Chain A
């Protein structure tokens, strides 16, 4: 039902407002050359913007709409002001161009906006001719989002297409100036979601952005600019279908990147236990927007620790947690000890690169061990810890060998010096025994 409506809407626009464009479209698909105006195939030069007479006035208006339009991706594809706003673009006169009968409708309402954009972007045939790689399911997804559901109920303060993409001056999503470019997404969402006044009528918190900015993900994206790796809001919530994920979906969402952790967890005895208690897997321990680096203090059965939320001291889980904490902290201590030893050897001029290779291997091992926590299995962890301690032992051994080498050097020097001293004495005696000089 909805689909038919949007397609017909789109077709209506194509015929009425951009008649020539639609004609060109059929021409091109029929294999003939392109005409003089806006075709489906060729993007337009910016200077030849097809905006009719509208820009005569709107280029200089305060809202800067005409100026923004210059950078809009749609402007290159023969879409003009009247495509969305209606009116008669051939009239340079304000009154005449907006006179009744021209279909002029001014600024779009929230619903109009969604349906208008979705009209073309949901039209497979239309998009295939222009941007074949772009998905066409945005509108479909939108109606499944919280935003869309509320809009359907008549709430107009929700996000529509233009809330995130802007109305004029729409850029491609990989354009760093776009409000939906990965690093800009959190701020774009926060525009509404961090505004307590704006959100006051909706039953939702407004501290997500503040928490996200301080999280590992926020730091990776906003400080380290890791646009390919670090998730923005949309990577967990969806973009056009934005909605809070259900408890059951959490592991799948986190597991999209942390797949190994997710696999380990789902195979662990904790997975069914969490399900029974309706705990949101990853989120139950790590939190949501505020996810920080894990520390060993988390693990353990003490009150205040993460495990301590469910486990009591003395039960099986607490025992395991204790084992994790103890073994991890002893691994850490060994690293400190190794570091001290190698620094000493290095400052004394010994080469410890080989020892550092072992340290590096052990560090990789520790990183893996922290992941293996999610198996919640002692034997699995034990195996990894043995590997780590072997590498650490090798590093220590190499460090001590370096220090022993230093002693060897000094001993060798001593031997050589003593021998030299003896030789010196005899040379001196020999010199004294030479006949006196004249």
Chain B
């Protein structure tokens, strides 16, 4: 009789333990920080000082959307969301003209993001650039 109760207690404890494991597993996995960069970006490391030479541009991902960082000829950086304000094509940096260019309808923006010629109806959405040592971080405009 006593043995049966003991066995039952053991089975009860064992199965409780196993089940608790199936509950704790997701909890522990949840609490471990995921390796991937957060989608809810406020800051993104866009490039480094050594990666980009003056008078060059680079497309990078700002959250889920493409963005463009430009290193001006004087070595300073400026960054924008890369979608053209005309019809959503991705813009690019033109070293020869030191302008941002949309190939779709020949729209040009200056390095302040202002639409200077062609169809674009308004300036590019600007981002903010922060330097941290050798790294160049980009954040949403505050």
Contact = CB atoms under 8 A, between A and B. Distances in A.
Interface of A: 226, 228-230, 256-260, 353, 357, 364, 367, 371, 412, 415-416, 419-420, 422-423, 426-427, 429-430, 433
Interface stretch (B15-23, B44-52, B123-131, B132-140): B15-23
B18 A422 contact: yes
A419 B8 contact: no
A317 B135 CA distance: 50
Interface string B1-37: 0000100110110011011011100100000000000
Nearest to B5: A433
25 contacts: A226-B86, A226-B119, A226-B121, A229-B120, A256-B106, A257-B119, A258-B105, A259-B103, A259-B106, A260-B104, A357-B64, A364-B90, A367-B89, A371-B104, A412-B22, A419-B15, A420-B19, A422-B15, A422-B19, A423-B19, A426-B15, A430-B8, A430-B9, A430-B12, A433-B5
Chain A interface, >50% SS class: helix
B118 interface: yes
A423 B15 contact: yes
B106 A257 contact: yes
A383 to B, nearest CB: 16
B106 A258 contact: yes
B18 A427 contact: no
A228 B120 contact: yes
Contacts of A228: 86, 118-121
Contacts of A433: 5, 8
Nearest to A430: B12
Contact of B121 (A229, A257, A259, A353): A229
Contacts of B119: 226, 228-230, 257
Interface in B34-70: 39, 64
Contacts of B23: 416
A226 B118 CA distance: 12
Interface string B79-100: 0000000110110000000000
Nearest to A432: B8
A226 B16 CA distance: 68
Contacts of A430: 8-9, 12
